[in-house]
Structure 1
Amino acid sequence: MPATAVFPSVVITVRVLKVFWRLQLRCPRVGVQAFVHTLCDIHGVSPRGYLATQFSVAFDVYLAILAAVDKRVQTALGRDTPNWRLKNACPSCMYKLEGEVEIPLPFLATIDGNNSLKRFWRREKVVDVDGNIAPGASRERLDTRVPAGDYYLSREEVDKWSKEGLKDLMRDFEPGDEEEGSVGDEGAGCSERWQNMKEDSTARAYGMYDKTGIFPALCRHGFVLVIVDMVKSGELAKYGFAVTAHLICALGKLGLGYDIGCKFAQMVRLHPALAKLAADNDFKALVGAFHGHAHNHRCQLCNLTTYVPGVGLEDLEGCEKFFSKSNALAATTRYATVFHRQQTITSYLKHADTADAYQGLCTAVLLRETMLSMGVESRSVFETWLEKEKVFLATLSKEPAHETLEMEYYQKLVNLQDLEERVGIITKVGLPILPANTDATYAAAASQTRRIETQRRHAIEARDKTLAVVADLELQLSIARRWENDGDDWIRVAKMVKNRRYQRAIDALEGLVVARMFELSKVNMSDTGYKLRKHIAKALQARSKGVKAALERYNEAATAMTPPCTQLSWEQIINYAFLADFDLLRDGREDIRGEPWAQPAGRLAMDQHFKLLRADEEIARLNLEIPRLVTHMVDEDAFLIYQERRLVHEGNPALAHQVGVYRMERGRFNALHMERLMKLSKEPGFTASLTPGVSFNKERRYVGCTSNIFVNLPSFLNAARTCRAAG
């Protein structure tokens, strides 16, 4: 492969380029410079800067040839139509068969933003008169090349969903009929916890980096569906809108996991262009299992995967697993050009789909004992408990209107008493007698008289206004006689006001403690990167200060209670290990400590019940996905063999060879899949079928064309084991 187009003086063998390509796909941290220096060490020559440039040029040409060959193969196979890859990305999710049973949420995906794959923005350095250096005009090299593949959504497509592009977008989508009042409040109270980072360092980063990260969408098996670049911004709503609309238009019904799923669902319902599209396709936004613990408990009951029918055992945290691997690309893409960055990411995504995602396709007794000990006759009781818990948490989110009016009336009476005392004091003091001796003394006394008169007038006006409010509240509450300080109603509502302050203090403390608890567990979790650990540690430092402040407010409110409530210390707070220690088992407007769903045993039984429900749904989903995978392997192998023979017959053996290479790229994992499925089928309780079905997809159907691999499954497995043993 030459390094220059005309009069090349250096050439690089294709084998070396192929080795580097495969090595970089498996270990993205290896860059061109490190690999070239390794070649220099092997050949015993001194490294030169131009060698890396020459190697990079030859490598670009090599990848361009591979992309051109792949495009010709896809054209020959009839797979060059728009969104073909997206609609056929995952065999288990998308290769539907005839006669399948309909399940809720037929397609599950997950989206999230990641700021590891930033790209440095090359700009001129401007020095002012004081010697300070500031970024100037861009000095990026003009490169109009576009990487092959359709993983990326264009920047123009994403910008249509920004506030500025909304008018143009409305021409393509009809506005929804949803009104603001139709939006559910299942996420109320936790959406404000999820905000884009607004630190000074993040704001400065937007001036340092051109691309500030990626925003991908993955199916539940880890196949990358689509990806967009975040440009000079944080995780804006337009990225989620663009990806969601693209997936719904291409795939239809969609269940989407997102760390801010509760808030994102409300934004989708209110979006004038996306609301109707989402409603027509039964779009459902959910919260992933890991991020759900940072949402309030009421939101978890509505949006967490454990409690949503149809999700199964899927945790909807595929993006976090993907980022743990893709973060290694940062070392080679941080200072790359726009083209080389996207080319590296696209190559990695294609390899990850083929070599990782495709390769990875393949307690009831305890619950019964707990039910007997608690006297629960049927598992349907747990559904009733869940609804009671939701109702209770809904009452906590908003105080009853009657209680709110009574507390406001009590507070106005307290204010009225204070104002009457103030008016009385000023009236009792009276106005000073004006002396008649000197002008200076007379002027001072007159000024004091005016000041006292003004204070009395203001006090009387404030008293009259408060008295009018008190009278209005008495009409609303139907109070015939004004409350006295020693009256039963006065004492009852005064206690209620103290309880409200105490309840709000403990709510704030609870949210901070729960968030800290799960952040601590993440810090010590394996495979957590250094930058993420550092970011979590920094957040924990700020969180600790907030916890201490909330703890002080709680202790003050607890002391004011009659009788005083238990004080909490910092040592007690940091030793909390379970949510039950600090969630439901507490005093509120109604004592729920006797409710069965608030007991530790009841909580455990409810969790087991819903996990078993999700497990049953997971089995039902797997009973669909396993035959899909088997049928896809049979149909795909037979289809590609037919295409190879057709191209040879048409006199194009070179293209036929490339089709064969394409067939073996994924086909090398089919033996492993079938071996695992055969082993799984021998387990007790296996209910899926390994018999190939009939696909809705007509492109792979050819009369008389059968796969020579899957005709005899036992002999195929024996041959596969022999091949694997021989390497």
Structure 2
Amino acid sequence: MSADQRHALEALRDHGDVTDDNAQVDDNDSYGAWDVLDGTQALDISHGGGELQELTCGIAGDFWNAHSRQSVCRKDYQSRRDRTQCRIEAFDYQMPALITVYLTRSLERDEKCGMGFFERQKDVDADDVNAGQVFIEVVDIHHAEKVHLSILSSNTYLASALVRHGVIPCSPINPSVGMTIDCLEFYRIARQRCPNFSIQAFTKTLCDLQGKRFHSYLSCQLSITLDLYLLICTQVRSLVQEAIGQSAIDWNLKHACPACLYALDAEPQLKFSLLYAMDGNNSLKRVLKRVPDKEHAEDLVSRNIPQSSELPTSQSIVDYHYLTREYVDSFADTLNPQVDLFNDDDEDDNPCAGRWKNMKDDKTKWMWGVFDELGIFMAVCRHSFTLIIADMVQSGECAKYPLTVVSRLLDTFRHNLGRGYDIGCRFKTTLSRSSLRPHARTLNHTPLVGAFHGHAHRRLCQLDHLTTYVTGLGLEDLEGCERTFSKSNVLAPATRYASVFHHRQANLGYFEHNNEFEIYHNLTTFLYNYKQALNILYDGQTVLPRLMQELGVTDESELEAWLENERWNTKAGGKDLEQETLQMEYWQKLVNLSTSKKELDGTAWSLTMPGSSFGQADVSMTVRLKTACCHALENYEKDLKIVHDLEMKLGVDKHWQLEDIEWQNAGWLVVNRKYQLALDTLEGLIVARIFELSKMNRAGTGYKMQKHISKALQVQSAAIHTALDCYNLTARALSSPRPALKWEDVVEYAFLTDFELLRDAHEDISQCPWATPSGRHAMDLYFKMCHAREEIERLNVEIRCVATYLQDERHYLEECEILLHTLHPGLAHQVQILRNTRGRFLDYHCQRLRDIVGLPGFSGTLLPGQALHNGPGELTMDGVHYVHPKSI
């Protein structure tokens, strides 16, 4: 029985006998449809030939025909893409009304604070006689129920009427389900605290709480209502910023960090006005949903169109944090196409250029077929406030991403930094200033090497850029990106398969919440590092004089001279090593040339020897000799060309001979080099053996792992035997032969220092004062004390800036709230919410600042200063305070 037939028969039960009053009905020969439905009478008829339908039509008459016409559904020819776009456009059209109602509802809600949604609906619109009603299912956290909600004559749209009740609809025209604002706000906050808490997981949680079975469409309904709610909140926040004078372009970026960017008048000048770090993270990747049709996909590839099956949408994220793809791509297309972030062209300024191979395009190309965005590239200040975010689309860390960040920051801060004219940045490599826009070069931008990444850089790069040796950095390690990424990685599972819009929405929401509720809360805790700087100075003033006395150093300036000496030796040693490498290569090529010359002479002599007979075998031998002679000639000419090229580089007039002093010196260099390589190989194998033995004997190592390590050690032992034989052979060939090593002695080595590699270096620097352990300790302690003094100087500035900002912001928001209270109470209430959000940490900040002032040795002040530029708002207190938003 079809659904239409069943529905018609059930309608007969509700409407009674629909036959003509004059008709005669024989109770014995006819059946009542309602008796058949309730099972009291059996229907002796088959539905196979359509008899049931004829019987139904005969009984119901015109009722069946009328109902059949009503039950015919209009076929919907719209695709999902069309329906989604129509819904978005309808909500956008109603957005002004939704915002107005949301502001009114938010203001009235405080009067019924503590009441649930269903409790508040009992007294809503009881006095409005013209109010209509809509029957809709409302989903709250613990309860879901179909209720009648009133519609006032003043409500422009049905959606705005629902928002007035605190319900966000899932459809703009005729919604059947809505989510309460309290439920959506609960999920929004929960997702920011637990970023991998997905929409599906929350939907299943609601189903479990309410005793219902989960359906996939419930997640779609929640996603629609959440998008609408977040859009309303974003629009309301924009209106609030406009109302309090914080809507100027880049205002939020200029005031992202109170400690870094809230400059005061007549404050001390620092070398670096802003310290920030930028880096890329590939954890927040997003899977590319490919077009399933291969022919269609090939057509897209031929037209350079991404092979994505994702539905396009007009939804977008517009925020000062997030850079658009078009803005980022402009730096790849228009600035300097020849710029390569990882090239080797600038070895003098960047000793580590060309070393970063892991994020080159050819290394990450294999990921592009699976992922669309390969992660995010972001910049954070030294207090970990997020400054800029950009998606890395179909590429690794290309030059355009750091260039975009640097240019954006220089464009923004070229007139707003009052404490200096230099910006310190930590990234993998230096950036060419020629690649920046002309008006962005007014500020200095200094590349630095973070404490964590410093171990991957060459020593010369560390001496020039490592935070340990750069003046003006204080105790900053410039590793804020790593700490930020360690927290944001939990966001990856919930966004891996999201759309472009939802991926950006989740990222932006997380980092904004992190700025407002985590970093801002811990700001004064960071400033409490004042205590660490004081402890470093106190300990250093006790230990450093004793070390200097042991080393025979009378002035601290000698420690700085040691650093310059190390830098000079590193640069000179590298050049000497390069020259020696050319000499050794030239010596080896001369040996190869001599060998190829002997082979050529030998084959030529064999070819000219007369034979006793001229048989077929002699002809074959002659052909082979001619071929060997040609090959020997080619090898000789090739070696001769290489020798000529090396002679041009070395400036050699004629070939070195065996009796030449240059030949002998280069020969000994080759022998020493082979010895050092053999020693390094032997050391590496034994060090690996030491680590394996320590792991095998470590507590907690399982039996299977011990057996695996044991087998690996057996194989490694054979390799050590071979490396030991090679070492002893090269050691005997030295001008001053080294003692041979025995297997019994080698296997007992337990420490790396047993090898003492510096003893066989081309230049013995082990006796230099800066190379001794006590000398290194003295240098590190001295520079650490210097940075502690710089840290105290910077913290004195930042502490006063934060204290001033806390006072200015509180007073400014209070004044704005008072002024808006009469002009627009809804916006005034939103300003109050903003003030309470920021004010919840005020007592904690004040207590931490008092703790800092109480530290012995504190040299700063908490007396508020005067903001160098406009304070928490672009509007001054004694001027025009308010411009009424046009959209309200």
Assess same fold via TM > 0.5. Answer: yes
In structure 2, distance between residues paired with 1:184 and 1:691? 48
Structure 1 equivalent of residue 190 of structure 2: 23
Change (3 A) 1:397 1:68: same
List runs of 5+ in structure 2 lacking aligned partners: 1-167, 296-300, 415-420, 525-538, 692-714, 881-888
Q: CA deviation at 1:397?
A: 2.3
Equivalent residue of 2:377, what SS?
strand
User: What code does the residue aligned with 1:662 have?
Assistant: L
Q: Is the 8 A contact 1:113 1:235 kept in 2?
A: yes
TM superposition outliers: structure 1 runs of 4+ over 6 Å: 197-200, 455-474, 504-518, 548-555, 565-577, 580-584
* Count of aligned pairs between the two proteins: 649
Q: CA deviation at 1:587?
A: 3.1
Among residues 591, 594, 610, which one is paired with 1:433 in the alignment?
610
Among residues 133, 141, 158, which one is paired with 2:311 in the alignment?
141
Q: Is the 8 A contact 2:808 2:871 kept in 1?
A: no
Structure 1 equivalent of residue 288 of structure 2: 121
Equivalent residue of 1:302, what SS?
helix
User: What code does the residue aligned with 1:440 have?
Assistant: Q
In structure 1, distance between residues paired with 2:632 and 2:188? 87
Segment of structure 1 superposing worse, 419-428 or 116-125: 419-428
In structure 1, distance between residues paired with 2:334 and 2:758? 49
In structure 2, distance between residues paired with 1:660 and 1:591? 70
User: What code does the residue aligned with 1:398 have?
Assistant: K
User: What code does the residue aligned with 2:501 have?
Assistant: F
Structure 1 equivalent of residue 491 of structure 2: 329
Check if 1:292 corresponds to 2:454: yes
Structure 1 equivalent of residue 877 of structure 2: 702
In structure 2, distance between residues paired with 1:190 and 1:514? 30
Change (3 A) 1:420 1:25: closer
Larger Rg: 2
Change (3 A) 1:222 1:313: same
Q: CA deviation at 1:41?
A: 1.7
Q: CA deviation at 1:144?
A: 1.2
Structure 2 equivalent of residue 212 of structure 1: 374
User: What code does the residue aligned with 2:859 have?
Assistant: T
In structure 1, distance between residues paired with 2:487 and 2:321? 18
Cα RMSD between the aligned structures? 4.3
Segment of structure 1 superposing worse, 99-108 or 36-45: 36-45
Q: Is the 8 A contact 1:224 1:349 kept in 2?
A: yes
Q: CA deviation at 1:400?
A: 6.0
Q: Deviations over 1:158-178 (max 9, x none)?
A: 00122x4447x99xxxx9xxx
Structure 1 equivalent of residue 267 of structure 2: 100
Change (3 A) 1:308 1:704: same
Structure 1 equivalent of residue 209 of structure 2: 42
In structure 2, distance between residues paired with 1:515 and 1:689? 55
Q: Deviations over 1:106-146 (max 9, x none)?
A: 10111111111112222233579xxxxx9995321121111
In structure 2, distance between residues paired with 1:473 and 1:147? 58
Change (3 A) 1:383 1:30: same
Q: CA deviation at 1:12?
A: 1.9
Q: CA deviation at 1:497?
A: 2.1
Change (3 A) 1:144 1:482: closer
Q: CA deviation at 1:401?
A: 7.3
In structure 2, distance between residues paired with 1:236 and 1:550? 43
In structure 2, distance between residues paired with 1:554 and 1:248? 58
Among residues 436, 448, 467, which one is paired with 1:274 in the alignment?
436
In structure 2, distance between residues paired with 1:384 and 1:449? 67
Structure 2 equivalent of residue 494 of structure 1: 667
Change (3 A) 1:507 1:331: same
In structure 1, distance between residues paired with 2:688 and 2:263? 41
List runs of 5+ in structure 1 lacking aligned partners: 129-133, 519-544, 706-727
Q: Is the 8 A contact 1:3 1:54 kept in 2?
A: yes
Among residues 557, 571, 581, which one is paired with 1:380 in the alignment?
557
Q: Is the 8 A contact 2:656 2:663 kept in 1?
A: no
Q: CA deviation at 1:268?
A: 2.2
Among residues 810, 818, 825, which one is paired with 1:637 in the alignment?
810
Q: CA deviation at 1:196?
A: 1.2
Aligned positions of 1:217-366 closer than 5 A: 217-252=379-414, 253=421, 255-260=423-428, 264-265=429-430, 267-269=431-433, 272-274=434-436, 280-362=442-524, 363-364=539-540, 365-366=542-543
Among residues 371, 386, 390, which one is paired with 2:548 in the alignment?
371
Q: Is the 8 A contact 2:607 2:625 kept in 1?
A: no
Check if 1:680 corresponds to 2:844: no
Aligned positions of 1:582-621 closer than 5 A: 585-621=758-794
Check if 1:76 corresponds to 2:253: no
Segment of structure 1 superposing worse, 629-638 or 561-570: 561-570
Q: Deviations over 1:362-410 (max 9, x none)?
A: 1211222211111111221111111111122213323367656654564
Q: Deviations over 1:649-688 (max 9, x none)?
A: 4x21111111111112112112111101101111111111
Change (3 A) 1:323 1:515: farther
In structure 2, distance between residues paired with 1:228 and 1:194? 22
Change (3 A) 1:429 1:107: same
User: What code does the residue aligned with 2:509 have?
Assistant: S
Equivalent residue of 1:108, what SS?
strand
Among residues 399, 410, 414, which one is paired with 2:576 in the alignment?
399
Structure 2 equivalent of residue 669 of structure 1: 841
In structure 2, distance between residues paired with 1:237 and 1:25? 31
In structure 1, distance between residues paired with 2:228 and 2:644? 84
In structure 1, distance between residues paired with 2:593 and 2:870? 81
> Normalised by the size of structure 2, how large is the TM-score?
0.65
Aligned positions of 1:45-64 closer than 5 A: 45-64=212-231
Check if 1:188 corresponds to 2:362: no
Q: Is the 8 A contact 1:431 1:452 kept in 2?
A: no
